[in-house]
Amino acid sequence: MRAYYYEDSTADQREPHDSGREASLDDLEKVGVLYWRFDGEQGLEELNALAKKRSYKNRDEITVSPSSMGDVYESKVKSFFAEHLHEDEEIRYILDGTGYFDVRDKQDSWIRIAMEKGDMIVLPSGIYHRFTTDAKNYIKAMRLFKDDPVWTPINRPLADDNRYRHDYVSSFDVSV
């Protein structure tokens, strides 16, 4: 994993958009984003222990790539990249490949989180974020859920009035 501030440009969303300004684990924690690395032989066991501790009862797997999604790949990747929030945590463990999760910091700037196999991330309910594959166009991820699988995205600005957004803004002291 590497996190850095996103540089806006006309380049494709799948390009790195690397400003060269690093973001630390502390920067991520300030906006409620949690990160672990569960790598190698013990990886799955460590993941299972965390899932138990945090009461993640359900899981599934998704592969985002042209070969797994066919004609809808491009439109799926575009839709994942629309800025949105969820009413539950977004929990992802990367099984293979690479991709970018972008999250808003307190000043509403994008932090890009470059994820690879073995990386595990939790985005809190109510945080504005988006996802894209990178130029390799391949990622396989485990999605974990506390209860029933719910991953309905609520796009910005519609979600500004959502009560999970309000809860998030007050608990993390976000200025916008």
**Known binding-site positions for Ni(2+):** 84, 86, 90, 129
Binding flag, residue 131, ligand KMT (CB under 6 A): yes
CB 28 within 8 A of CB 35: yes
Vertex 17 angle, CA 16 and 23, to 5°: 90
Total residues in contact with ligand KMT, by rule CB under 6 A: 10
**Nearer Cβ to ligand KMT, position 56 or 80?**
80
CA–CA dist 96, 119 (Å, integer): 10
Q: What backbone torsions phi and psi does residue 162 show, to the nearest 5 degrees?
A: -70, 140
CA–CA dist 33, 26 (Å, integer): 9
Q: Of 1-9, 30-38, 84-92, 164-172, which segment contacts Ni ion by CB under 5 A?
A: 84-92
Binding flag, residue 89, Ni ion (CB under 5 A): no
CA–CA dist 159, 165 (Å, integer): 7
62 binds, among ligand KMT, Ni ion, none (CB under 5 to 8 A by kind): ligand KMT
What minimum distance in Å lies between the beta carbon of 133 and ligand KMT? 8
Binding flag, residue 134, Ni ion (CB under 5 A): no
Measured on CA atoms in the order 7, 120, 81, 62, is the torsion positive or negative? positive
Residues in the chain: 176
Binding flag, residue 97, ligand KMT (CB under 6 A): no
Binding flag, residue 126, ligand KMT (CB under 6 A): no
**Which residue in the set 90, 102, 119, 134 belongs to the binding site for ligand KMT (CB under 6 A)?**
90
Binding flag, residue 102, Ni ion (CB under 5 A): no
